[in-house]
A = this chain, B = another copy of it.
Amino acid sequence: MSHPPIPIYRQGGHPQQAICTACEVRRSALFGALDEAALDRIHLHIADLAFDTGEPLYARGDRGGAVFTLRAGIVRFERSTEDGSRRIVRLAGRGDLIGQEALLQQAYADDVVACTPVQVCRIPRSLVDTLGEAESALLRELMQRWQRALDDAASWVAELAMGPARRRMLRLMLRLGDYIDEQGCIWMPRRDEMGAMLDLTPETASRLVTWMRQTGVIELRGSRLARLDAGALRRALEEQDAG
């Protein structure tokens, strides 16, 4: 899932001033709502960070005081239950806003971990606070993102947490197709990660992957990548919904 590195420094400008003008995800990201004048005021305070696969961005309970915009990669939201098992409750990708709780001076609600190499912009809470009073477009954009996350969570329950394992797995593939990389490949989770998303054992996940390979739904491309046959996937899903 290595998207091309996104330049965050103004071309031909001051290399120290990290700004979002040239950022590819700006259109779809939080600060797309701001004009250049507003961007000029804030770019100094935004840090761009990189995380490797498996690295945590933050943990549930942390009081980080910053939100993140995802510039590249995929992250997962985890919760651990009292009996010790961990469950993945949501994914986020390119352009998504993460850690909005911080804006409300709350502790983070989930553990967030990088599924692939990840690049984020780290935005301090205070920055949004001061901007928020002036720029109502920013607040609107914020609420939009909150609602999108809520919508994601609801459809996660409806699509990935019900029905037989085969259908859940196919729906997961459908969803991973939204995070396709520039070579047209999807991120292929480890079998135990699939298990944490779909509430399966790694063995069952493995059996289903084998089945999807045999039916041509996916074709493995290395251990963490695969090519998805959209037509075969759709047909397989219809078959599941019928029989």
Most B CB within 10 A of own CB, among A133, A136, A158, A199: A158
Choose from B79, B82, B147 the contact partner of A106 (Cβ within 8 Å): B147
Taking CB as reference atom, which chain B residue is nearest A241?
Answer: B83
Choose from B90, B157, B240 the contact partner of A87 (Cβ within 8 Å): B157
Choose from B142, B150, B157, B199 the contact partner of A163 (Cβ within 8 Å): B199
Min Cβ gap A184→B in Å is: 25
Taking CB as reference atom, which chain B residue is nearest A162?
Answer: B199
Min Cβ gap A11→B in Å is: 34
Contact A151 B89 (CB under 8 A): no
Task: Kindly state the separation between the CA atoms of A90 and B6 in the bound complex, as whole angstroms.
Answer: 38
Contact A109 B151 (CB under 8 A): yes
Task: Kindly state the separation between the CA atoms of A147 and B99 in the bound complex, as whole angstroms.
Answer: 10
Task: Kindly state the separation between the CA atoms of A134 and B100 in the bound complex, as whole angstroms.
Answer: 23
Question: A34 contacts the other chain (Cβ, under 8 Å)?
Answer: no
Taking CB as reference atom, which chain B residue is nearest A88?
Answer: B157
Q: Give the total of A residues in contact with B, Cβ under 8 Å.
A: 44
Choose from B147, B161, B237 the contact partner of A162 (Cβ within 8 Å): B161
Interface of chain A residues 133 through 186 with chain B (CB within 8 A): 133, 136, 139-140, 142-144, 146-147, 149-151, 153-159, 161-163
* Given the contacts A103-B143, A136-B133, A143-B103, A89 and B157 also touching, CB distance less than 8 Å: yes
Contact A144 B104 (CB under 8 A): yes
* Chain B residues, CB < 8 A from A136: 132-133
Min Cβ gap A238→B in Å is: 9
Contact A241 B100 (CB under 8 A): no
Interface of chain A residues 196 through 214 with chain B (CB within 8 A): 199
Question: A77 contacts the other chain (Cβ, under 8 Å)?
Answer: yes
Contact B150 A82 (CB under 8 A): no
Choose from B90, B104, B143 the contact partner of A154 (Cβ within 8 Å): B90
Choose from B81, B140, B150 the contact partner of A159 (Cβ within 8 Å): B81
Min Cβ gap A176→B in Å is: 17
By Cβ-Cβ distance, the 10 closest A-B pairs, closest first, are A153-B153, A83-B241, A161-B161, A79-B158, A146-B146, A89-B157, A162-B199, A89-B154, A87-B158, A150-B150
Q: Can you list 14 A-B contacts (CB < 8 A)?
A: A81-B162, A81-B163, A83-B163, A83-B240, A89-B154, A100-B143, A103-B143, A104-B143, A104-B147, A143-B146, A146-B147, A153-B156, A161-B162, A161-B199
